[in-house]
Structure 1
Amino acid sequence: MTSSETRGFTPKATGKTVAANVKRLRMEHNLNIPELGRKLEKNGHPLTATSITRLEAGRRRIDVDDLMALAVALGVSPVTLLLPPTNASTDHVDVTGIGPGPAGVLWQWALADEEIRAYEDSDAFLRASLPAWLLHQRQLAAMQREVEREKTEQIQLLLLQRLSGETDRILSEELRGGTDGND
């Protein structure tokens, strides 16, 4: 990218987040800029040290190919680069196009677990967001969780019925003067 392509470039919230996350993760992996450049080159997406420096400083646009290659090189999901690190799901973070919101909600949206606002129901959101095979996997997993929940409820009900029956038997024996504890 030439300097004329970035002249006057000011990253928005998500661009700033990606730049900060690339730098943070690079440092956590104890990589210097040339080492990250070599990893990117090895993975087929070369970026010069100058490009990486400019990217981390928010002076270079990050395209989707950069995002994916950086995620691979840093050993994280692309979502990890897109959202700021937080300590709690209630921490507010700023995302381009959405604005500030709770980190937990934004992470769930980024992982296609919840819609933000464009869809009226989560089924429409999931159908629009996920490939059919993944949607099917999630639906099966949800059905399995529901079956397990129902089994657990049935077992609890059965145990309560048995306990209630045992309590009734003991009370009945006591009322008849049955057991006095000296058998």
Structure 2
Amino acid sequence: MTEPSQSPSDLVAERIKKTRQKRGFTTTKALAQRCAEIGAPQLTAPVLMNIESGRRDDAGRRRRNITVDELLALSLALNVSPLSLLTPKDDLATVDVTPSLTLEGEALGKWIAGREPEFAGVPPFDTEDSDTFQWEADLPAWRRVEILDERLQRDAEIRKSFRRTDALRAEIERRIEAGELPADVHTAWKWRATTDSWTLTSPSGECVEIPRPESED
């Protein structure tokens, strides 16, 4: 059964409580002592109880939302990333970012972590600043460096893949010319790549192993 979608504060409160218990703080008083140790004495046991419960009204609506200051202090006290408290453990669990936008945990986490959002149903910005590069330009410098490193690594893998493909094609053509493989090997045989070789399988089940050239990387 699918769990109902949560508000951001309900999600964070639930994650705080579960993480508190996981860390061995069996009561809010114990966590309050830890908060005082890290310089957040305002997070007393009653305050933490209200954060976790939400001080709900008679209709069950949360009256006590969680501030950014509290989120960061509790992340420090619980020794977790704020991302861990802001996103559900289940990637498919949903969070109501606004009354008209509900995101699954994975999409929410990627957005918070500085990935470009893809929100279905959200009107796009009709400005020159709405493209991918402007989105990245507004990120902190350390995240922009990470994105650049990720792209360089991805490009290197693509180039390596092309080199491997070229090496395979050259070796196949050499074996066809030498009569070691039939001319229809490109279309009729199945190909499978492994770490050290390519495996070519004929329609009749015959297998041919072609080692990867040592110089291909």
Q: Contact 2:97–2:103 at 8 Å: present in 1 too?
A: no
In the aligned structure 2, how far is the partner of 1:45 from the partner of 1:34? 13
For the pair 1:44 / 2:44, whether they are aligned, the reply is no
* TM-score relative to the length of structure 2: 0.65
Task: For 1:45, give the aligned amino acid.
Answer: A
Shift of 1:171: 5.0
Shift of 1:135: 0.4
Which 5+ residue runs of structure 1 have no aligned equivalent?
Answer: 1-11, 173-183
Aligned length: 157
Instruction: Choose which of 14, 18, 38 in structure 2 pairs with 1:20.
Output: 14
Query: Higher RCO, 1 or 2 (CA under 8 Å, sep at least 6)?
Result: 1
**Of 131-140 and 33-42, the range deviating more from structure 2:** 131-140
RMSD: 2.2
Shift of 1:25: 0.7
Q: Partner residue of 2:133?
A: 123
Shift of 1:66: 0.7
The runs of at least 4 aligned residues of structure 1 exceeding 6 Å deviation read: none
In the aligned structure 1, how far is the partner of 2:159 from the partner of 2:104? 32
Task: For 2:97, give the aligned amino acid.
Answer: T
**SS in structure 2 at match of 1:94:** strand
Q: Partner residue of 1:178?
A: none
Instruction: Choose which of 24, 30, 50 in structure 2 pairs with 1:54.
Output: 50
Task: For 1:52, give the aligned amino acid.
Answer: L
Q: Contact 1:26–1:36 at 8 Å: present in 2 too?
A: yes
Shift of 1:116: 4.0
In the aligned structure 1, how far is the partner of 2:104 from the partner of 2:14? 19
In the aligned structure 1, how far is the partner of 2:146 from the partner of 2:23? 33
Instruction: Choose which of 109, 127, 131 in structure 2 pairs with 1:107.
Output: 109
In the aligned structure 2, how far is the partner of 1:171 from the partner of 1:83? 57
Question: Residue 100 and residue 134 in structure 1: after superposition, are their counterparts in 2 closer, same or farther (change >3 A)?
Answer: closer
Which 5+ residue runs of structure 2 have no aligned equivalent?
Answer: 1-5, 56-63, 182-217
* TM-score relative to the length of structure 1: 0.75
In the aligned structure 1, how far is the partner of 2:141 from the partner of 2:174? 49
Task: For 2:23, give the aligned amino acid.
Answer: H
Instruction: Write 1 or 2 for the structure with the bigger share of helix.
Output: 1
CA offsets, 1:82-103, max 9 Å, x none?
22221xx4x2412332632232
Task: For 2:70, give the aligned amino acid.
Answer: D
